[in-house]
Amino acid sequence: MPRLIKAEEVDSTNEWIKKRLSKLNDLDSFIAEIQNSGKGRNSKDWFSPRGGLWFSILLEKFQGAEGALSLLCATAVCDALEEHNLLTNIKWPNDIILKGKKLGGILIEKVQGKFIIGIGLNLNLSKSDFPIPLKDIVITSKETIHKELDNEAIAKEIIKRIAIGRNNLEEIHKKYLKLSGDLNEKVKINNGEEIFTGKVIEIQADGGIKIRNEDSEKVFYSGKLSYLS
């Protein structure tokens, strides 16, 4: 049986798993009350105070394209939250959006052929818990449904959905498309090498986002996506 290991405070749940790869098995996970050095995509700091759900999962068995793992993890999170009356959608590749604001995000790293999935969700928090630069862009479950959630139970629900969904990626892709907030949106994407603007016309099963403008059509597998409309 997969283990859910708990701690009070760590630097980063992803880093905790990295240091113990040889001692952990498929779907083992680690949850912390507080992260002192949590990271999001592009090495951005991730604010992780007590109350939120901060955990990481080790995934050893995954047969799909790497980009498809983002789709799987994001849909697993949304499905688990829906059970608690939190109706979320996804901003590519795996930001969890509630009422137009960020409820959480996912960081996937590949180490020694294994995947470490870091998930951060602003659950049992208040706006006052966040520093001023974040107050206008984040949202919490507590301010939305006005009650506390069981973080550990939700983590287990997410892990279960990832375990099941990895064997049915075609269905996961269909589900992701229903949850996506990006389709037909005019966007700008910056992948560090170029900035491209256009309309999102497709999210591919391999995790790529296809964007078209008057001049060309391109597929991106990484980058920062911003809405222009």
CA-closest candidate to residue 89, choices 175, 162, 208, 203: 175
Q: Is the pLDDT of residue 11 over 60?
A: yes
CA-closest candidate to residue 13, choices 144, 125, 147, 120: 120
Query: Beta partners for 219?
Result: 210
Confidence of residue 36 (pLDDT cuts 50, 70, 90): confident
Domains and their CATH numbers in the chain: 4-179 (3.30.930.10), 186-227 (2.30.30)
Name the H helices within the chain: 13-18, 66-82, 132-135, 141-145, 151-165, 169-179
Mean pLDDT over 119-128 rounds to 91
- Residue 2: its pLDDT value, please? 87
With both helix axes pointing from N to C terminus, report the angle between 169-179 and 66-82 in degrees, rounded to the nearest 10. Answer: 60
d(CA 197, CA 2): 43
**Contact present, 88 and 82 (Cβ < 8 Å):** yes
- Residue 46: its pLDDT value, please? 61
Beta-carbon neighbour count of residue 19 at 10 Å?
8
Beta-carbon neighbour count of residue 175 at 10 Å?
20
Three-state DSSP state, 160: helix
d(CA 223, CA 206): 15
Enter the tokens of residue 179: 């949850």
Q: Is the pLDDT of residue 43 over 80?
A: no
Residue located via tokens 């793992």: 69
Give residue-wise pLDDT tens across range 142-155. 999 999 999 999 99
Query: φ, ψ for residue 223 (rounded to 5)?
Result: 140, 165
The rounded radius of gyration (Å) of the Cα atoms in the chain is 17
- Residue 38: its pLDDT value, please? 56
- Residue 139: its pLDDT value, please? 94
Three-state DSSP state, 49: coil
More confident call, 179 vs 48: 179
For residue 133, cis peptide bond before it (omega within 30 degrees of 0)? no
Enter the tokens of residue 5: 């290991």
Task: Please give the share of the chain, as a percent, with pLDDT higher than 90.
Answer: 85
Confidence of residue 190 (pLDDT cuts 50, 70, 90): very high
Give residue-wise pLDDT tens across range 68-122. 999 999 999 999 999 999 999 999 999 999 999 999 999 999 999 999 999 999 9
Mean pLDDT over 190-202 rounds to 95
Whole-number average pLDDT of the chain:
93
**Contact present, 119 and 55 (Cβ < 8 Å):** yes
pTM of the model: 0.93
- Residue 135: its pLDDT value, please? 78
CA-closest candidate to residue 87, choices 168, 170, 181: 181
Give residue-wise pLDDT tens across range 158-175. 999 999 999 999 999 999
Q: Is the pLDDT of residue 131 over 90?
A: no
Q: Is the pLDDT of residue 41 over 60?
A: no
